[in-house]
Structure 1
């Protein structure tokens, strides 16, 4: 199998951190997003969505979603568990993953893709016709970003990790979203939020965070 990866993008980083936590090594092919390699015909034949990461299995099956890739490896290598083991854990982790994706990562995407000239006519990622940028969504993204940071800070005041007592995929997703928001010039969510800052520092200290 091969994992198509990218150095700075958030979704590939989720997978790298997940694999590092699992202690798994997978053959990787680096795709250069800055030069538009993911938009070229040879890559589009692999993934028409023009997105990364992409896992191509030995039978040529393509899994083109970061959480789908992580779930694939979780099924093959369940220890240490990162998607939960009990019904309660699985439900909580899934719920938080959806909130993080819809409320926080989407905030970064709205802010970044509607602001950066590199995404002119590509304001929405995926297999779409040209979609123009909407400047008003930059402000909406920042509002969503700050609002969810407040939610997460309040939650982490009572919980050591996002989905309870153990480090899980929910922590990976939230940590990557936080770092990508900071990198794309959204307000640092750690400032003025002690619980979120404590949690972020603990996740950043894990060896997998450097993956």
Structure 2
């Protein structure tokens, strides 16, 4: 049985895993889950991933990995070349720190701004099997979080080609995806964020980042 990747082309989370699969050239088949039609909430998909989220990766033995962290860790251990989480202890530490920072500051900011303000997500302020009401103040805070992250991130990239450890890593992938996705809340780096522009343009030339 080949690897089966449960994807949604319009969502940021599965795109992160999709880029890792492409960078590591991992053979797999794809099943599209239409989030706009709430297919992730249906019984068929929840039998595969009870979290009702994508991505999910079904392994050859039938085991299903149900989140980005698990998918990335398994792929890194099973397909170690190229290393996207570092090779030395310090590389791993630096990459993990930036991965956490990007997720907690930029990723959470975009998600909060979108899910707490979009009328289509009323009652669905958080992904997953449970319903949560929107909190408008969190949308406002999310917009501030995006601005603050982008300003600091541009300064961080001033003398760097990559986000961490001097190499392409999951931190680059996560930051790239969320910066792209921030357009859904009308947030994009401006012309003054030249370092982000340079970094983004270079990554955009890679085949894996065009998925």
Aligned residue in 2 for 1:12:
14
Q: 1:82-137: CA deviations, max 9, x gaps?
A: 11000010000000000011000000000010111221111011232x21011121
Structure-2 separation of matches of 1:176 and 1:114: 20
Q: 1:59-86: CA deviations, max 9, x gaps?
A: 3322111131121111111111111000
Gaps of 5+ in 1: none
- Matched-pair contact (CA < 8 Å) for 2:110–2:185: no
1:190 positional shift: 4.0
- Matched-pair contact (CA < 8 Å) for 2:41–2:129: no
Using the size of structure 1 for normalisation, the TM-score is: 0.95
Task: For residue 31 of structure 2, give the secondary structure of its aligned residue in structure 1.
Answer: strand
Using the size of structure 2 for normalisation, the TM-score is: 0.95
Aligned residue in 2 for 1:185:
185
- Matched-pair contact (CA < 8 Å) for 2:113–2:185: no
Structure-2 separation of matches of 1:191 and 1:144: 19
Task: For residue 46 of structure 1, give the secondary structure of its aligned residue in structure 2.
Answer: coil
Moved over 6 A (4+): none
Aligned residue in 2 for 1:154:
155
Aligned residue in 2 for 1:100:
102
Structure-1 separation of matches of 2:187 and 2:115: 16
**RMSD of Structure 2 on Structure 1 (CA):** 1.2
Aligned ranges 1:123-138 → 2 under 5 Å: 123-128=125-130, 130-138=131-139
Structure-1 separation of matches of 2:191 and 2:107: 18
Structure-2 separation of matches of 1:51 and 1:4: 9
Aligned residue in 2 for 1:60:
62
Gaps of 5+ in 2: none
